Copies of this chain bind each other. A is one copy, B any other.
Amino acid sequence: MWLRTSSREDRGGPPLSRQRIVEEAVALLDEEGADRLTMRRLAERLGTGSTTLYWHVKTKDDVLDLALDAIFAAVPIPEDQNWRAGVTRLIGDWRATLLRHPWSAALLGRPMLGPNVLARSDFLYAALIGAGVVEPHLTAAAFGLSNYVVGSALMQATWLLNADAETRDAARDHMDHQRDRYPALAAHGPLTATDGWDESFERGLGWLLDGVEATIG
């Protein structure tokens, strides 16, 4: 009786819910990365048993899908009048969010059908349609912009955030020792110029938008 763990107070915080699981999952992912997310570790942080999570969530993949969609709530849906300004802002914030949660890069290869992602994709299509972009340019524009931001964030997260310092140093040495085999790469490659990611990103984005804009008329 006196030993019984009385129900609510001694577990941390409010009762368990799908939302609280996802919030804690995002926090855990932010702090320790994708491969350290375990159902047991997640449950421990929530003050519950690991198997309890399966009442609120079907599989671990569900947790990952929910966590991935959750972070996009931080991407504001622009209200610019100018279509190009709005699209630029959306894509930029999209990228910033991906880089703020580097573990997301490893999850981009799964279907993203959460409400936050869909709402922002819908805005992208609507903005392009409003600008007067018509098929077949419309699909190409939406695909191209999405793919560009996903690829950029994936590569930058891989090299600057997920890779530890020793990996980067080893890569640099690896390149130095083969300088004659990859001359152009060694002279101008991403490992020699690790700064300027932002500037390069926006330059490429500008090229894409120039191409889209040229189809209007």
What residues make up the interface of A, taking CB atoms closer than 8 Å to B?
105-106, 108-111, 113, 118-119, 121-123, 125-126, 129, 135-144, 146-152, 154-155, 157-159, 162-163, 167, 171, 174-175, 178, 181-185, 187-190, 193, 196-197, 199-201, 203-204, 206-208, 210-212
For the complex, what is the distance from the CA of A139 to the CA of B195, rounded to whole Å? Answer: 10
Residue of B162, B171, B201 near A113 (CB, 8 A) is B171
Q: Are A154 and B184 CB-contacts (below 8 A) given A189-B121, A200-B136, A210-B210? A: no
Is B207 in contact with A212, judged by CB distance below 8 angstroms?
A: yes
Is B158 in contact with A151, judged by CB distance below 8 angstroms?
A: no
What residues of chain B lie closer than 8 Å to A182, measured between beta carbons?
118-119, 121-122
Q: A111-B163, A135-B188 are in contact. List 18 more A-B contacts (CB 8 A).
A: A111-B167, A118-B175, A118-B185, A119-B181, A121-B182, A122-B183, A125-B189, A138-B188, A139-B188, A139-B190, A140-B203, A140-B204, A146-B155, A150-B155, A151-B154, A207-B207, A208-B208, A210-B210
Is B143 in contact with A108, judged by CB distance below 8 angstroms?
A: no
26 contacts between A and B (CB under 8 A): A109-B158, A111-B171, A113-B171, A118-B182, A121-B185, A125-B188, A136-B200, A136-B203, A137-B203, A138-B188, A139-B190, A139-B193, A140-B200, A140-B204, A142-B188, A143-B190, A144-B204, A147-B148, A147-B151, A147-B155, A148-B204, A149-B151, A150-B151, A206-B211, A207-B211, A210-B210
